[in-house]
């Protein structure tokens, strides 16, 4: 496959920004990360502070995504029992007032602070700062047209986090992601990253 000079430059700059900004954020946020880790430990420390979940990334590759733990230790086992109550159609899963979420977990999810450990995923190259959010279900679940979404590395944030949130089903999210990333632009991605910060300050994450 021939990669054009402009495209090589795009990917080089994107990776350089990922490493630079995620490293800087981890250093600046270290006190906050320590406080959150302590609160999670007090709430349900026996299960571990970090939650590791296998997600689908670029080209369908599966990787281990990191989050602060926000749910009860048996949350994954309870998921199938609660699937019929999901507020969104399969393959997505979302519950209003999810009973599996812990006290501190509800706050972390509302503010999206539970996502901060994914800066480590960005630093080690599993993810990028701006890209389609990685799905918990694998690529075999995708319809053929949806697989274009897998041509891009999964992001800490993406168009859905800023413009869609919980109002969109998976088809709509795919269309939004594909339309945004077809026109590769570092400037547009930096703008979306800045918009994400504003969303976080408004506390519009999912509880």
Return d(Cα 206, Cα 202) in angstroms, integer: 12
Please state the length of the chain. 207
Indicate if the pLDDT at residue 206 is higher than 60. Answer: no
Q: Write down the pTM of the prediction.
A: 0.82
Return d(Cα 22, Cα 18) in angstroms, integer: 6
* Beta-sheet pairing, 128-130 with 155-157: parallel
The answer to whether 136 and 55 have CB atoms below 8 angstroms apart is yes
Return d(Cα 87, Cα 177) in angstroms, integer: 22
Convert the pLDDT of each residue in 116-130 to its tens digit: 999 999 999 999 999
Return d(Cα 72, Cα 154) in angstroms, integer: 26
Q: What is the mean pLDDT of the chain?
A: 86
Indicate if the pLDDT at residue 7 is higher than 90. Answer: no
Return d(Cα 113, Cα 26) in angstroms, integer: 13
Convert the pLDDT of each residue in 84-140 to its tens digit: 666 666 666 666 667 778 888 889 988 889 999 999 999 999 999 999 999 989 999
């Amino acid at each position: 496959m021939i990669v054009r000079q402009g495209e090589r430059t795009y990917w080089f700059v994107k990776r350089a920004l990922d490493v630079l900004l995620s490293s800087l954020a981890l250093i600046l946020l270290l006190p906050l990360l320590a406080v959150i880790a302590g609160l999670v430990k007090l709430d349900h420390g026996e299960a571990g502070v970090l939650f590791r979940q296998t997600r689908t990334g670029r080209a369908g590759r599966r990787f281990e995504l990191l989050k602060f733990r926000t749910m009860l230790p048996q949350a994954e086992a309870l998921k199938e029992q609660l699937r019929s109550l999901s507020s969104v159609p399969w393959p997505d899963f979302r519950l209003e007032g999810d009973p599996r979420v812990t006290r501190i977990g509800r706050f972390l999810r509302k503010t999206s602070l539970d996502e901060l450990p994914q800066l480590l995923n960005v630093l080690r190259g599993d993810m990028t700062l701006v890209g389609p959010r990685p799905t918990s279900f694998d690529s075999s679940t995708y319809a053929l047209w949806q697989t274009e979404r897998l041509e891009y590395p999964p992001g800490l944030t993406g168009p859905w986090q800023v413009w869609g949130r919980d109002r969109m089903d998976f088809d709509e999210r795919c269309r939004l992601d594909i339309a945004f990333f077809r026109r590769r632009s570092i400037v547009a991605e930096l703008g979306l990253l800045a918009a994400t910060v504003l969303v976080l300050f408004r506390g519009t994450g999912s509880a």
